[in-house]
């Protein structure tokens, strides 16, 4: 049963931030409620106040900036990102990622900000946004600050947001020329969180050698995690089967999976090996095909 709470519906972002400041520590922001209401029903979260931001137009947008980067407001739904022509044209890997998130019903109502703030280690957007070197805007009555995506996730369901802050939006920078990205997760149950996932972003030079690489693992550590040794292995090298095998092995060693009802530790390491090789190869192919 959900414990009683006071429902607050601010009309503007400024009002929302003032309420957050006033009730910090005893309130929760609610976006689509897809994750929060489950926790409240289970009695794991018992806020005295709920601050509803889902309807705030200021936080609901998908915009390409003058430099080719993408800004997405926190209350933008997964489905809006998935079906955006702008996103499909400029950052197709985000569409690929969104198609992996839950069911269409959850994507229709759940927000990108809620997903990231919830910080489920198996969440789909985190690894992809880290691979794309995205940054997140945190807002409070004191102003805005930027948090790099790879510094945002601190632990299981814990982020760098302070109690008086909400996530206002995300920014994905323009990708370098000759870059490609790819994402895939393995899930036992359709439309559910993954047992393991990998996002890869690769940049190549004219000779076809890798000049920049990010390999980010999902669901195999308390937070999405960059496989730094795997990334290092890629730099300066041309594509080969041997390279893919070495990179996949390193990523699997860098994962720190647990065993649970979805998958054993060993199986998760195996998944990371397979998905890493597949995603690096796919991102590399896309990099070569891009301008």
Tokens linked to 146: 């930027």
Query: To which H or E segment does residue 184 belong?
Result: strand 179-186
Considering just the CA atoms, what is the radius of gyration of the chain in Å?
Answer: 19
Stretch that binds ligand FAD, among 31-39, 87-95, 241-249, 268-276 (CB under 6 A): 31-39
| Measured distance CA(212)–CA(175) in Å, rounded | 11
- Report, in Å, the least distance between residue 190 CB and ligand FAD: 10
Could you give the C-alpha distances from 59 to 77, 101, 160, in angstroms and in order?
11, 21, 19
Size of the site for ligand FAD (CB under 6 A): 28
**Residue 124: CB atoms within 10 Å:** 27
Nearest distance from C-beta of residue 70 to ligand FAD, angstroms: 17
* Distant-in-sequence, close-in-space partners of 260: CB < 8 Å, separation ≥ 6: none
Task: Kindly identify the residues of this chain, within the stretch 114-173, that bind ligand FAD according to CB under 6 A.
Answer: 114-115, 117-118, 123-124, 161, 166-167
- Nearest approach, Cβ of residue 86 and ligand FAD (Å): 20
Does position 36 interact with ligand FAD (CB under 6 A)? The reply is: yes
Shortest distance, position 68 Cβ to ligand FAD, whole Å: 25
Smaller CB separation from ligand FAD, 30 or 277: 30
Q: Which is nearer to ligand FAD, 30 or 172 (CB)?
A: 30
Q: Is 108 helix (H, G, I), strand (E, B) or coil?
A: helix
Residue 31 as a binder of ligand FAD (CB under 6 A): the answer is yes
Is the Cβ of residue 136 or residue 284 nearer to ligand FAD in the bound state? Answer: 136
Residue nearer to ligand FAD on the CB measure, 110 or 257: 110
Question: Of 114 and 180, which CB lies nearer to ligand FAD in the complex structure?
Answer: 114
Determine if 224 is a binding residue for ligand FAD (CB under 6 A).
no
Contact by Cβ (8 Å): 144, 161: no
> What does each C-alpha distance from 274 to 93, 132, 148, 267 come to in angstroms?
19, 21, 28, 11
Q: How far is CA 56 from CA 19, 32, 51, 52, 146, in A?
A: 14, 12, 11, 9, 20
Contact residue for ligand FAD among 72, 91, 94, 110 (CB under 6 A): 110
The neighbouring-strand residues paired with 45 are none
Interface residue list for ligand FAD (CB under 6 A): 28-36, 53, 74, 101-102, 106, 110-111, 113-115, 117-118, 123-124, 161, 166-167, 192-193
């Amino acid at each position: 049963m959900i414990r009683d709470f006071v429902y607050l519906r601010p009309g503007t972002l400024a009002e929302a931030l003032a309420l957050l400041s006033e009730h910090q520590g005893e309130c929760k922001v609610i976006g689509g409620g897809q994750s929060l209401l489950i926790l409240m029903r289970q009695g794991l979260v018992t806020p005295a106040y709920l601050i509803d931001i889902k309807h705030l137009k200021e936080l609901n947008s998908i915009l390409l900036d003058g430099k080719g980067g993408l800004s997405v407001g926190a209350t933008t739904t997964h489905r809006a990102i998935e079906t955006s022509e702008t996103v499909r044209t400029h950052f197709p890997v985000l569409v690929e990622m969104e198609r992996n998130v839950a069911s269409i019903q959850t994507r229709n109502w759940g927000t990108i900000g809620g997903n990231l703030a919830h910080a489920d280690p198996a969440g789909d957007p985190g690894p992809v946004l880290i691979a794309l070197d995205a940054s997140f805007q945190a807002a409070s009555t004191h102003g805005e600050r930027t948090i790099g995506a790879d510094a945002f996730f601190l632990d299981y369901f814990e982020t760098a947001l302070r109690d008086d802050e909400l996530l206002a939006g995300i920014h994905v920078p323009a990708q370098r020329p000759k870059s490609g990205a790819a994402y895939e997760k393995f899930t036992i149950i359709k439309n559910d969180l993954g047992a393991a996932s990998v996002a890869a972003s690769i940049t190549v030079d004219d000779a076809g050698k890798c000049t920049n690489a990010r390999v980010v693992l999902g669901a195999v550590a308390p937070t999405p995690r960059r496989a730094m040794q795997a990334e290092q292995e890629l730099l300066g090298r041309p594509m080969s089967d041997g390279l893919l095998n070495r990179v996949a092995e390193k990523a699997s060693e860098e994962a720190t999976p647990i065993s649970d009802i979805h998958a054993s530790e060993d199986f998760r390491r195996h998944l990371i090996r397979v998905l890493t090789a597949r995603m690096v190869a796919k991102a590399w192919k896309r990099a070569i095909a891009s301008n």
